[in-house]
Amino acid sequence: MANKTYTLMHEHLLDTTGDLLTRMPFSKITVKHICEKAEVNRNTFYRHFDDKFDLLDVIIKEAMQVMSSQIDLESFHQAPFATINEFTFQGSLSILDFQLKDKVFEEQFYNAVFKELTAMAPSSDILWLLGNMQVIRIWNSNLKKPYSFQADYKLFDKIIREKKFPGIDD
């Protein structure tokens, strides 16, 4: 019974943090916020996670496990942004668009995703593709009016295919 209680609390903390991520930038979320929202004390939080960064790593790892069960690597190679956009957790993409504006979240997110995808990658080809996706992300984040990864994924896949940035290589 104690193991079931631990698992339920663990999931509760993950869900609570997921809810907070819809409304607050990750850099502004504190362990205190999570504990208050989850209605638990700090000791309970620290029995499950080292800190909020550890908790975010777990959230990302679980999302990556869901993605890996759904992803077709050939489709990912051909159209990585469209493949990501087709995942069943569509609501998460708007949260991701929101959170990627937060530099603390952005760094943590990309490090965790790269770590997970590196472990999943059957070859170095996927790592080169991830690098290209990162370059597109950096290019996009430096635009005066950045594109949305949720709405403009076809443009990003076109950039991958053609190796041309709009307005630069025209």
Residue pLDDT, tens place only, 37-55:
999 999 999 999 999 999 9
Measured CA distances, 138 to 19, 50, 106 (Å): 27, 30, 11
- Evaluate whether residue 23 is within a structural domain: yes
Distance CA 33, CA 64 (A): 25
Q: Are the C-beta atoms of residues 153 and 85 closer than 8 Å to each other?
A: yes
- Evaluate whether residue 34 is within a structural domain: yes
- Evaluate whether residue 126 is within a structural domain: yes
pLDDT category of residue 1 using cuts at 50, 70 and 90: low
Q: How many domains does the chain have?
A: 1
What are the strands, taking DSSP E only, across the chain?
A: none
Distance CA 25, CA 41 (A): 22
Please state whether 51 falls in left (phi above 0), alpha (psi between -120 and 50) or beta.
beta
By the 10 Å C-beta count (0-12 exposed, 13-18 middle, 19+ buried), 97 is classed as: middle
Measured CA distances, 80 to 27, 51, 134 (Å): 28, 31, 12
Does the pLDDT at position 139 exceed 70? yes
List b or e across 36-59, with b for residues whose CB sees 16 or more CB atoms inside 10 angstroms: eebebeeeebeebbeebeebbbbb
Does the pLDDT at position 91 exceed 80? no
Cα dihedral 85→52→21→6 (10° resolution): 90
Does the pLDDT at position 162 exceed 90? yes
- Evaluate whether residue 119 is within a structural domain: yes
- Evaluate whether residue 168 is within a structural domain: no
Q: What is the mean pLDDT of the chain?
A: 85
Identify the CATH number of the domain in which residue 93 sits: 1.10.357.10
Q: N- to C-terminal Cα distance for the chain?
A: 63
Where in the sequence is the domain holding 72, given as residue range(s)? 2-162
Identify which of 21, 62, 40 has the alpha carbon closest to the alpha carbon of residue 13: 40
Q: Are the C-beta atoms of residues 27 and 56 closer than 8 Å to each other?
A: no
pLDDT digits (tens, 9 = 90+) for 92-127: 667 877 887 888 988 888 778 777 777 776 677 877
- Evaluate whether residue 110 is within a structural domain: yes
Does the pLDDT at position 169 exceed 70? no
- Evaluate whether residue 100 is within a structural domain: yes
- Evaluate whether residue 158 is within a structural domain: yes
